[in-house]
């Protein structure tokens, strides 16, 4: 309750970060009863000030129809604003909208581009989705080694036992059945090389 009191003071003074934090508290029911309408109100205030986290959160509310009627076009609008500021969650979510044609015309090339942006920052969902696109040849040239690389990285970035982890493990087994031993080795080497560069001393 004390945290909320200070956040409210900061939020009333126009601090976007505090406004987004209050939105998240109402969104998740942390320290306050869950209230999507109030969450939406606070997210919108911060989003209009250009807070990328709030823009992403607002996009999720519109995509899921929480506190507001479901509206994919508005979800896309807010995801895009956040994605343009480098918000990886928004890049990944916007990629899904393009892949599924929700709120925008279906465009696999744009989806792949967005997945790549987020995948390079280590977002597991985006890594798995980019791998799937290399597997199917949607939006990119079909390449099993690259598919294997990204799905292996996505699995590695997912929590063991989670849906994403199980799904990536299954996808890797399916891929391995289709790949030559040389392609598998190439995929493993590309994944290891990427991992080494992005996790120096980590």
- Domain membership of residue 141 (yes or no) is no
- Asked whether residue 180 is domain-assigned, the answer is no
Print the domain residue range for 34.
1-73
Q: If pLDDT is split at 50, 70 and 90, which confidence band does 3 have?
A: confident
pLDDT tens across 157-176, in order?
999 999 989 999 999 999 99
Average pLDDT, the chain: 95
Structure confidence by residue, pLDDT tens digits, 44-101: 999 999 999 999 999 999 999 999 999 999 999 999 999 999 999 999 999 999 999 9
Band (pLDDT 50/70/90 cuts) for residue 202 is very low
What number of residues does the chain have?
202
Does residue 108 fall inside a structural domain?
no
CATH of the domain at 62: 1.25.40.10
Give the pLDDT confidence score for residue 144 in this predicted structure.
97
Return the structure tokens found at 13. 């003074």
pTM: 0.91
How many domains would you assign to the chain? 1
Classify residue 3: in a domain, yes or no: yes
Among 130, 111, 105, 110, smallest CA distance to 120 is for 130
């Amino acid at each position: 309750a004390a945290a909320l009191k200070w956040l409210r003071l900061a939020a009333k003074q126009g601090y976007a970060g505090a406004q987004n934090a209050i939105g998240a508290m109402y969104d998740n029911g942390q320290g306050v009863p869950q209230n999507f309408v109030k969450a939406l109100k606070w997210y919108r205030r911060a989003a209009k000030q250009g807070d990328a986290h709030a823009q992403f959160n607002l996009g999720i509310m519109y995509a899921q129809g929480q506190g507001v009627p479901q509206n994919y076009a508005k979800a896309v609008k807010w995801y895009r604003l956040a994605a343009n500021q480098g918000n990886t969650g928004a890049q990944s979510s916007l990629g899904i909208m393009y892949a599924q044609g929700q709120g925008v015309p279906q465009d696999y090339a744009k989806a792949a581009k967005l997945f790549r942006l987020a995948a390079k920052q280590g977002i597991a969902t985006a890594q798995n989705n980019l791998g799937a696109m290399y597997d199917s040849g949607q939006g990119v040239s079909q390449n099993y080694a690259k598919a294997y690389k990204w799905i292996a990285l996505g699995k590695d970035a997912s929590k063991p036992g989670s849906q994403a982890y199980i799904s990536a493990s299954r996808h890797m087994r399916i891929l391995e059945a289709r790949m030559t031993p040389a392609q598998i080795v190439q995929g493993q080497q590309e994944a290891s090389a990427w991992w080494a560069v992005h996790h120096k001393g980590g």
